[in-house]
Homo-oligomer: A and B are copies of this chain.
Amino acid sequence: MAEQKKMVAEITSMEEDFAKWYTDVVKKAELIGYTSVKGCMAIRPYGYAIWENMVSLLDSAFKKTGHKNVCMPMFIPESLLNKEKDHVEGFAPEVAWVTHGGNEPLEERMCVRPTSETLFCDYYANTIQSYRDLPQLLNQWVSVVRWEKTTRPFLRSREFLWQEGHTIHETAEEAIAETEQMLNVYADFFENSLAIPVVKGLKTDKEKFAGAEKTYTIEALMHDGKALQSGTSHYFGDGFAKAFGIQFLGRDNKLHHPFQTSWGTTTRMIGAVIMAHGDNNGLVLPPAIAPVQVIVLPIAQHKEGVLEKANEIKERISAFCRADIDDSDNSPGWKFSQYEMKGVPLRLEIGPKDIENNQCVLVRRDTREKYFVSLDELETKIPELLKAVHDGLYNACLERRERMTYVARTLEELKDIADNKPGFIKAMWCGDVECENALKEQAGVTSRCIPFEQECLDENCVVCGKKAKHMLYWGKAY
């Protein structure tokens, strides 16, 4: 246990300094490597394997709902970016500009895509003639660049990986249904794969995406009570279509502007997993996205038959889970800490005594509970325990969110909660941006979303006292 304590002592405790804890986990779990490219990440094999699992699950959900992948250029000529007014105002201040190709200055400078609405519009304008060409349900997995001043691995970096879905439809109703469908795909992924409960809702006008009519969002609560915007889905109406001159010949033989959506999730989801499930021993990974679901650790591996048995078990369970074995000459204590740090959901220990008793020891990462399991039952017990880890993580998150969600009925009450109790604050709002700005200034919180599940906490706006339109979630956010 001495070694284990030493290892654990190497990371800052989250109660002491959450930001430092986060950075320690990101480094010690080998998710991110050093790079001399300021504000950018080098995603290491273990971090990237988590991303690959996320991509694989989301991509198949996109394909099941009829979407196809494409790849647009990474550059946007300045004149193209400028075509939609709100959009360019939102993004131009934070793009990276390419001005030279080799030794020659470019005729027109281009930015590296911060998002690709303009490129998809350019593409649609040339591929859509009639209603028969609609809908187009597209997606791409690429990286984008936003020139952030302060950066943190996975949460906010100058380059990040993401998927951006872009769709275009004959009617507004169809486009809105798509926007909502994709928000639900995201919410299902968070709850069923990442074991993170989310609040689904609509962004206020102030917080919506540049150029969107409506932005839907899923919001998750982290260990420290801060909110993380975890996925967004935008409905554009026909604003982009008008700005880019996209038209189709309708069933009525007249020209119409089609309706668009876009929706995205990013490597930020890795940050969400770290901050939702991690603990003072390191990362805790939900089984669905864990690169290794079960780590097999031979105990007293120099003893006859142990390594053979451990390898045999690893091969056998690889038929139904992602398993690995560590037969290095590091001590068991070191290995326990190491795979706790890496968040492997289940540890399987097998030593001479276990072999004698035809059993092994399974240890859950989330609760550290130990189970003595007969070797004849691995095929049923391991999937059961993986499911138990998932459910345990989900329920712990949900319980925490409920515990850290507060109701404020007056401005004073809201300020007091904001100052002293990290978490979500539910409060009524009149719909005016002035009241939204006032809360930012006076309480340091921003509106997270207008949740789909509305409650009437009070008749009036918590700020101005006028008639309230919505119940809102407020919070401090990453």
> Taking beta carbons and an 8 Å cutoff, which residues of A are in contact with B?
33-37, 40-45, 48-49, 51-52, 68-77, 80, 92-103, 110, 112, 119, 122-123, 126-127, 138, 142-143, 145, 147, 158-159, 161
Q: Which residues of B contact A138 (CB under 8 A)?
A: 45
Copies in the complex: 2
In the complex formed, the residue of B with least CB distance to A68 is B45
Whether the pair A75, B37 counts as a contact (CB closer than 8 A) is yes
A138, B49: Cα distance in complex, Å = 12
A126, B33: Cα distance in complex, Å = 8
Whether the pair A123, B76 counts as a contact (CB closer than 8 A) is no
Q: Known contacts A96-B98, A101-B96; is A48 also within 8 Å of B73 by CB?
A: no
Whether the pair B161, A42 counts as a contact (CB closer than 8 A) is no
In the complex formed, the residue of B with least CB distance to A52 is B69
Whether the pair A42, B99 counts as a contact (CB closer than 8 A) is no
A36, B33: Cα distance in complex, Å = 36
Whether the pair B101, A37 counts as a contact (CB closer than 8 A) is no
Q: Which residues of B contact A101 (CB under 8 A)?
A: 94-97, 147, 158
Cβ contact of A42, chosen from B33, B37, B72, cutoff 8 A? B72
Whether the pair A112, B98 counts as a contact (CB closer than 8 A) is yes
Cβ contact of A98, chosen from B77, B97, B123, cutoff 8 A? B97
Whether the pair A36, B96 counts as a contact (CB closer than 8 A) is no
Whether the pair B34, A127 counts as a contact (CB closer than 8 A) is yes
Residue contacts A-B, CB under 8 angstroms, 14 given: A33-B126, A35-B73, A37-B80, A40-B73, A41-B73, A49-B68, A74-B143, A74-B145, A75-B159, A96-B101, A97-B98, A98-B98, A102-B147, A142-B143
Whether the pair B112, A112 counts as a contact (CB closer than 8 A) is yes
A403, B94: Cα distance in complex, Å = 57
- Please list the 3 inter-chain residue pairs (A to B) with the smallest Cβ-Cβ separation, ordered nearest first: A40-B73, A101-B147, A45-B68
Whether the pair B126, A34 counts as a contact (CB closer than 8 A) is yes
Q: Which residues of B contact A75 (CB under 8 A)?
A: 37, 40, 96, 159
Cβ contact of A73, chosen from B37, B70, B77, cutoff 8 A? B37
Q: Which residues of B contact A158 (CB under 8 A)?
A: 101
In the complex formed, the residue of B with least CB distance to A144 is B74
Q: Which residues of B contact A94 (CB under 8 A)?
A: 101-102
Besides A92-B102, A96-B101, A99-B100, 5 other CB < 8 A contacts? Answer: A33-B126, A49-B69, A93-B102, A98-B99, A99-B99
Q: Which residues of B contact A147 (CB under 8 A)?
A: 101-102
Cβ contact of A43, chosen from B71, B74, B161, cutoff 8 A? B71
Whether the pair B100, A35 counts as a contact (CB closer than 8 A) is no
In the complex formed, the residue of B with least CB distance to A94 is B102
Whether the pair A70, B98 counts as a contact (CB closer than 8 A) is no
Q: Known contacts A100-B99, A103-B93, A112-B98; is A123 also within 8 Å of B69 by CB?
A: no
Closest chain-B Cβ to A162's Cβ sits at a distance in Å of 12
Whether the pair B35, A123 counts as a contact (CB closer than 8 A) is yes
A119, B36: Cα distance in complex, Å = 8
Closest chain-B Cβ to A72's Cβ sits at a distance in Å of 5
A161, B100: Cα distance in complex, Å = 21
Whether the pair B73, A44 counts as a contact (CB closer than 8 A) is no
